[in-house]
Structure 1
Amino acid sequence: MKVFERSFVLVACLLSGGAALAQTPELGVHITRQLPATPVKNQGSTGTCWCFSTTAVVESECLRKNLGEFDLSEMYIVRNIYLEKARNYVRRQGKAQFDEGGLGHDVLNAIAQYGAVPESAYSGLVNGARTHDHQKLVKDLRAYLTDILKKTPVPADWETGFVRILDERLGAIPQQFDYQGKTYTPRQFAEEVLQFHADDYIGLTSFSHHPFYQPFIVEIPDNWANGSYLNVPLEELSSVVQTSVSAGYTVMWDADVSNPGWGQDKGYALEYVSKPSSAEPDAPEKPTDQQVRQRLFDTQVTTDDHLMQITGMAASPSGKKFYLVKNSWGEVGPYKGYIYVSEPYFALNTVTVIVPKAVLPEDLKAKIH
């Protein structure tokens, strides 16, 4: 996550209010497909967008299945992933990423391993805190790990002290809790109430430095868990995402939001040829193709900045397509936390997506090695 996101999140913490769905925007752009989604949330001063975005996808899937509307605890997942990151960091003798960031597969893996809980059972806020702030927490956790790695052998019980810090800063996690008159463990809640199955989802990406139709480990710092993503050509990536939305499934979207065309404050993200002073959805945009996309990734113009949820599609008067995207910075911008992302912006700035396996077309499945 770039400094850009952290700075914007700090502002968003101050500006956010209650949640609301995006309304049909001005300037002639109209929503063509809008899927059920839970209220916009605020990740506060944390780099945990990976959890807010993917948890939002799980919440929307519960709505799609008519299981009910859930407000799931992101911090329950984040807390468990901090421990998994720490184990990885120690096993790699400190030569690994240990920070706030992560990717969508971390949420899927965490729910499969640790289960899930409602926000009411675990907020991750202690001592009267009203917003999330993990900057000092992560520094202290990293310092603790650095200290224990100075000893050889590493203390066998090093996790005890690490967990103690998490308990103090985020609160102890519940072993069981009551929900609608019944007692659950987190695993039972995920399996029985949410009907969650990690294998229902697949991660996709599109880069030409690896063969298409094969999985590879995306080389970005926050991929600390070495998760693999199926590599497909750009046209097929876009097609799968749009098919997913058309079929009623929301999508986790990992993208660069620090490039000039991103405009949460204006409600639009476009690859402008010449950026206008105000949002103009039908403004000319840069051409996109696989080669340009690859060059931007290799030169680190396109980087893994921020993860969000695609909840629908929209169109401009000229027929340009837009993705309706739910952010986790609170109700900022003209569309109260939502933003309309053009196809060219999506094409050049997408790093990874997570979609349900159910939407993969048969011809794509036949090409996978």
Structure 2
Amino acid sequence: SESFNADPKNRMVQNAAHSLDFTTLITNREVMIADNHVFNTKIPIESMVTNQKSSGRCWIFAALNVFRVEVMKKYNLEEFELSQGYLFFWDKFEKSNWFLECMIDLRDRDVNDRVVQHLLKEPVNDGGQWDMLVNLVERYGVVPKALYPESFSSSSSGKLNNLVISKLRDHAVVLRRMAALGRSVEELRAEKDKCLKEIYNILAITLGEPPKKSFTWSFRNKDKKYFEFQNVTPQSYFRDHVGYPVADTISIVNDPRNKTMELYTVQYLGNISGGHPIRYVNAPIDDLKALAIKKLSSGKPVWFGADVGKYLHRDAGILDPKVFQYDLAFNISFNMTKAERLIHGESLMTHAMVFTGVHLDEHGKPVRWRVENSWGDVGGDKGYLTMSDAWFSEFVYQVVLEKAITPKKYLDVLEKEVHVLPAYDPMGALA
């Protein structure tokens, strides 16, 4: 068009973008320099970055990266991993049961009901929430990765998910058909159990049966000292060797659409039937920052959830709203608030990671944050990312803290009446 060609810059950028990733052209050099990987507050123990590969298990990886610090500290280990595949197995199994229970609960609703369709769209996936992690660890414990290593389908879960989802939808039809014929809930649950046996077999074949009996854990630490622990179960391993107070934790979220210092949950969101419900304490974003700084300053990592796809320079490992200068190439700007992005489908929590450091200015205000990701050691600082404080404000949604270090005003919110968000609410997104 005449208006396009009237600006010679458009033609120059067009020629360059024809052969290059356009984000390369608009990368902000000043941001790349400012968002360096140096921090004045950092936890004393870090380990090699883990790799979730082609799976959506970030929430499990992030939690186990928090837990492993306790084991490394206790036994003076150089490197260590807990089995992500072990919790993945049981999460997939329990989510299958959760979905079928939801189908039984919703048996009288029209199949085109919005909630029914929301659940049928994705009966299970790899993602999860912190309270789901609590449920899994309390019931199943954890094991070292050497006891339950990765399989092809844990590292590349797409085909496994498709198989499980197809089986669950197939059984949802059976349950709804039985309900329409007036069968009792007891009969529906008996039918559900048949499906769960098939799901277990699918998981056992593709992932391997998880250890159920006691095992021996042996290793050498950094000083070459040999350790051996016998008759260990997954539950006793978590209790005796990890010792993280997983049940005494609290999720603080920043959802600017809703009132702060109130308690929220999401309908039909969970993994273990009868387990802990998903519960969020909503707070201002500056509260999340202050709480994260408090925990990092005590030398402990922080599990958090965010929308990682926004303004991410993957090679440099930088998260910053100014890392790409869209205005220079396209003469455009983005003006939505955080609340407006949630409301209009532009943003939600997509990924869980771990804070291991923060850089504070002379007034104690955060400038940038050090992030332990789970995408392997390529990019950033051997897989660690740098997040600007401005990015934290706009795209971090949740931090998790131990209740023992959480101010009372947040704990008091847990006693309030809970506000139930619909199943399809963006705060029900799984990291």
TM-score, with normalisation over the residues of structure 1? 0.80
Which residue in 2 is equivalent to 1:198?
246
Of the three residues 56, 73, 81, the one matched with 1:47 is 56
Alpha-carbon shift at residue 52 of structure 1 (Å): 0.5
Determine if the alignment matches structure 1 residue 141 to structure 2 residue 193: no
State the secondary structure of the residue aligned to 2:339.
helix
Structure 2: which amino acid aligns with 1:101? G
Find the aligned partners of 2:35 and 2:321 in 1 and give their Cα distance.
19
Find the aligned partners of 2:395 and 2:34 in 1 and give their Cα distance.
24
8 A Cα contact 1:102 1:222, kept in partner: no
State the secondary structure of the residue aligned to 1:77.
helix
Find the aligned partners of 2:41 and 2:141 in 1 and give their Cα distance.
31
Which residue in 2 is equivalent to 1:81?
91
Which residue in 1 is equivalent to 2:399?
353
Which residue in 2 is equivalent to 1:34?
42
Of the three residues 291, 311, 314, the one matched with 2:359 is 314
State the secondary structure of the residue aligned to 1:59.
helix
8 A Cα contact 1:46 1:135, kept in partner: yes
Which residue in 2 is equivalent to 1:177?
215
Find the aligned partners of 1:53 and 1:112 in 2 and give their Cα distance.
17
State the secondary structure of the residue aligned to 1:271.
coil
Which residue in 2 is equivalent to 1:21?
none
8 A Cα contact 1:61 1:249, kept in partner: no
Of the three residues 361, 383, 390, the one matched with 1:337 is 383
Alpha-carbon shift at residue 328 of structure 1 (Å): 0.5
8 A Cα contact 2:42 2:358, kept in partner: yes
8 A Cα contact 1:324 1:339, kept in partner: yes
Looking at CA atoms only, which structure, 1 or 2, has the larger radius of gyration?
Answer: 2
Alpha-carbon shift at residue 213 of structure 1 (Å): 1.7
Cα distance change, pair 160–34 in 1 and its aligned pair in 2 (3 A): same
State the secondary structure of the residue aligned to 2:252.
strand
Of the three residues 66, 69, 74, the one matched with 1:57 is 66
Alpha-carbon shift at residue 311 of structure 1 (Å): 0.7
State the secondary structure of the residue aligned to 2:81.
coil
Structure 1: which amino acid aligns with 2:340? R
Alpha-carbon shift at residue 142 of structure 1 (Å): 1.0
Which residue in 1 is equivalent to 2:288?
237
Cα distance change, pair 189–365 in 1 and its aligned pair in 2 (3 A): closer
Aligned positions of 1:277-296 closer than 5 A: 292-296=337-341
Q: What do the CA deviations read for 1:99-158 (whole angstroms, capped 9, x no partner)?
A: 121122222221111111000100141xxx498111000110111112223323435432
Of the three residues 228, 249, 255, the one matched with 2:279 is 228
8 A Cα contact 1:31 1:312, kept in partner: yes
CA RMSD after TM alignment: 3.1
Which residue in 1 is equivalent to 2:203?
166
State the secondary structure of the residue aligned to 1:328.
coil
Find the aligned partners of 1:130 and 1:40 in 2 and give their Cα distance.
21
Alpha-carbon shift at residue 270 of structure 1 (Å): 0.8
Cα distance change, pair 258–28 in 1 and its aligned pair in 2 (3 A): closer
Task: Show structure 1 runs of 5+ residues with no match.
Answer: 1-24, 278-285
Task: Show structure 2 runs of 5+ residues with no match.
Answer: 1-31, 105-115, 179-187, 219-227, 328-333, 417-431
Structure 2: which amino acid aligns with 1:133? S
Percentage of matched positions with identical amino acids: 22
Structure 2: which amino acid aligns with 1:149? A
Find the aligned partners of 1:32 and 1:218 in 2 and give their Cα distance.
38
8 A Cα contact 2:141 2:235, kept in partner: yes
Find the aligned partners of 1:162 and 1:363 in 2 and give their Cα distance.
43
Greater mean alpha carbon deviation, residues 171-180 or residues 206-215: 206-215
Structure 1: which amino acid aligns with 2:156? D
Alpha-carbon shift at residue 68 of structure 1 (Å): 4.7
State the secondary structure of the residue aligned to 1:340.
strand
Which residue in 2 is equivalent to 1:217?
265
Find the aligned partners of 2:255 and 2:326 in 1 and give their Cα distance.
30
Alpha-carbon shift at residue 342 of structure 1 (Å): 0.8
Find the aligned partners of 1:367 and 1:118 in 2 and give their Cα distance.
36
TM-score, with normalisation over the residues of structure 2? 0.69
Structure 1: which amino acid aligns with 2:56? G
Cα distance change, pair 359–275 in 1 and its aligned pair in 2 (3 A): farther
State the secondary structure of the residue aligned to 2:145.
coil
Find the aligned partners of 2:125 and 2:285 in 1 and give their Cα distance.
30
Find the aligned partners of 1:55 and 1:71 in 2 and give their Cα distance.
8
How many residue pairs get matched?
329
Higher share of residues assigned helix: 2
Cα distance change, pair 136–364 in 1 and its aligned pair in 2 (3 A): closer
Alpha-carbon shift at residue 61 of structure 1 (Å): 3.6
Alpha-carbon shift at residue 197 of structure 1 (Å): 2.9
Find the aligned partners of 2:281 and 2:351 in 1 and give their Cα distance.
20
Cα distance change, pair 79–37 in 1 and its aligned pair in 2 (3 A): same
Cα distance change, pair 346–27 in 1 and its aligned pair in 2 (3 A): closer
Determine if the alignment matches structure 1 residue 269 to structure 2 residue 319: yes
